[in-house]
Amino acid sequence: MKRLSHIIISIVVLFSLTTFFLSAESVQEFSESGKTYEYELILLHTNDHHGAVLPNNNQGGLAYVAAYVKAVKATNPQVLLVDAGDINTGPALSNMFAAEPDILAYNIMGYDAAIFGNHEFDGDQKKLLKQLKLAKFPFISSNIKTSNGKYLGNTPYLIKKYDGFTVGLFGITTLLTKNIATPDKNLIFINEIDAAREMVNILRNREKVDIVIAITHIGDVKENPEHITSLDLAAAVGGIDIIVDGHSHSFFKVPKKVGNTYIVSANEWGKYVGHGKLLIQNGKLVNFAWVPVEIGPDREVTAMLERYIKKSNESLKEIVGEAAGTFIFGNRLPRYQETALGNLIADSNVWYFKTVYHQQIDFAFHNGGNIRAAIPKGPISQEQILTTIPFENYLFIVSLKGSDIIELFNFIASIPQGSGGFAQVSKEVRYTIDYSDGKGRLKDLTINGAPVDPNKIYRFCTNDYILRGGDGYEVMKRAKDPFNTSLLLSYVLVEYVKAQKIITPVIDGRLKVIGGVNP
């Protein structure tokens, strides 16, 4: 499915295969009881869309999701379509229009419901309320209240009536949101388990629904000891048939199951649509078959997006700030030594996440191979920023123990000059690389003016490529408490330049090289 020329044909074939797989599995798996199942419901779901308006390497994108959703709805009379949060924050096209094209596409597809992810709170309350007004579907929130005691979005739960049964939906947002985003200070967050218990009680005992589905943005990967995951929720709260989860960007090949509760999640960025088939008899879920499905484009959504794409392309010429001097690239200087370009990029990360996200981070670093061009003196356009750092690298904030930080910088010192892995760091870091004996050796490492404490936990920013161990950064695989900001490195730099208005090239000695070479 990777080639665009094959996408349209592939979607038809894949849909047929998926439908056959679910039907065949149903016969094989459910016929043993000898019972006849009276009703079925198709559950389609997405999560962690993060502004993926357009495909990435011919995968994902709103038109692709829409094509699959429309194909399923055309052949199934009872379909439930939901999103498990983080519609906001990603590539510039979505950010530029505050997720307006994303929500309009969701309207076209006919989403039944969505919930709030932590990134729905990256902007102010005015932005969020505008999005709620634009959406033709409800945002369900069962654990976030406004100062007047009402649930945010005014939909604590939703009941959907189908032929032969009813489904009750409720929505839970991780309490981590209070620390990793910037929700309005007047919002009240209720413990995930307490809120879920209340909603299950209401849906089961008062509303008398047959099936209960929790849509959650809490994730299945524990980020700290207090973090309640979807697995924790399922273990603590009975009466939930299915949890549709988001936040961890996890790719499930099959559902996870805790007790009698199925848990599913559909990765990220519209790469997959979760496709489940519920079999229901006498008001009870008797079984659930589910697959993650790759997808291809839809004409109606593609046409709707064209005006946004045109405006986005025009905005590349927008002047975002001015350079007081040239940020020199030379013969790939960021792979050899400290550079004003590398300093600018790393410093922009620390500024952004401290100022906008209110994160307490100790430093930032990136691989010099990420930097591909100078920023000339004079006006700076968005296009120039994207020319300087052209890769779609997403930023993560992670933690490492001091002993691992020392190992990390020992590795950085060992990287040969000229390699793409050669590091560029923020101003909080000071160190020397001594190449006198032919091998790079680390000297005089300090962070925030002090030697690294082997027992201290350090929190810092880097990109997804480094975090995966790219350029040999194997020590980064030990990183803990990962926070996927879902922001591109280029986006953060643009925001920094806009805020500063005028940027000046600075080399301040944060990295000293002894006995090295010049390109």
What are 307-336's pLDDT values in tens digits? 888 888 888 888 999 999 999 999 889 999
3-state secondary structure of 444: strand
Place of tokens 């929720």: 233
Contacts 24+ apart (CB under 8 A), 497-501: 497/320, 497/321, 497/348, 497/380, 497/385, 498/320, 498/321, 499/351, 499/355, 500/321, 501/321, 501/322
Q: How far apart are CA 280 and CA 177, in angstroms?
A: 35
Find where tokens 């990287």 sit. 415
Q: With bands split at pLDDT 50, 70 and 90, how would you rate the model's confidence at 6?
A: very low
43-58 confidence digits (pLDDT tens): 999 999 999 999 877 7
Mean pLDDT estimate for the chain: 90
pLDDT digits (tens, 9 = 90+) for 132-169: 999 999 999 999 999 999 999 999 999 999 999 999 99
Name residue 56's beta-bridge partners.
59
End-to-end CA distance of the chain: 42
Note the pTM of the prediction, 2 decimals: 0.73
Q: What is the dihedral of CA 21, 22, 28, 34, to 10 degrees?
A: -160
Residues 6+ apart with CB under 8 A from 219: 174, 227, 229, 230, 245, 246, 247, 248, 250
Q: What pLDDT sits at residue 37? A: 52
Closest CA to 213 of 113, 119, 337, 289: 113
Strands 441-447 and 450-451: antiparallel
What is the side-by-side order of every strand in the sheet holding 429-434? 450-451, 441-447, 429-434, 511-514
Q: Average pLDDT of 232-256? A: 97
Q: Are 354 and 426 in contact (CB under 8 A)?
A: no
> CA-to-CA distance for 230 and 214, rounded, in angstroms?
10
Which CA distances in Å does 58 have to 63, 94, 387?
Answer: 11, 18, 22
pLDDT digits (tens, 9 = 90+) for 332-380: 899 999 999 999 999 999 999 999 988 999 999 999 989 988 999 999 9
For 116, the token pair is: 């709030």
DSSP state of 41: E
Task: Determine how β-strand 450-451 pairs with β-strand 378-381.
Answer: unpaired
Query: Domains of the chain, with CATH numbers?
Result: 4-309 (3.60.21.10), 318-514 (3.90.780.10)
Distance (Å, whole) CA 25 – CA 254: 13
Query: What's the rounded Cα separation, in Å, for the pair 331 and 509?
Result: 20
pLDDT level of residue 20 (50, 70, 90 thresholds): very low
Q: How wide is the angle at C-alpha 461 spanned by C-alphas 183 and 121, nearest 5°?
A: 15
The residue ranking higher by pLDDT, 404 or 122, is 404
Distance between CA atoms of residues 121 and 132, nearest Å: 12
**pLDDT on residue 36:** 56
The two three-digit tokens of residue 242, written as one number: 């299915």
- pLDDT at residue 373, as a whole number: 87
Given a contact cutoff of 8 angstroms between Cβ atoms, the answer to whether 120 and 85 are in contact is: yes
On the question of pLDDT at 90 being above 60, the answer is yes
The overall longest dimension of the chain from CA atoms, in Å, is 79
Q: Which of 151, 156, 222, 213 is nearest to 188 (CA)?
A: 151
DSSP per residue, 101-129: HHHHHHHHHT--EEE--GGGGSS-HHHHH
Q: Is the pLDDT of residue 447 over 80?
A: yes
Residue 75 predicted with pLDDT over 70: yes
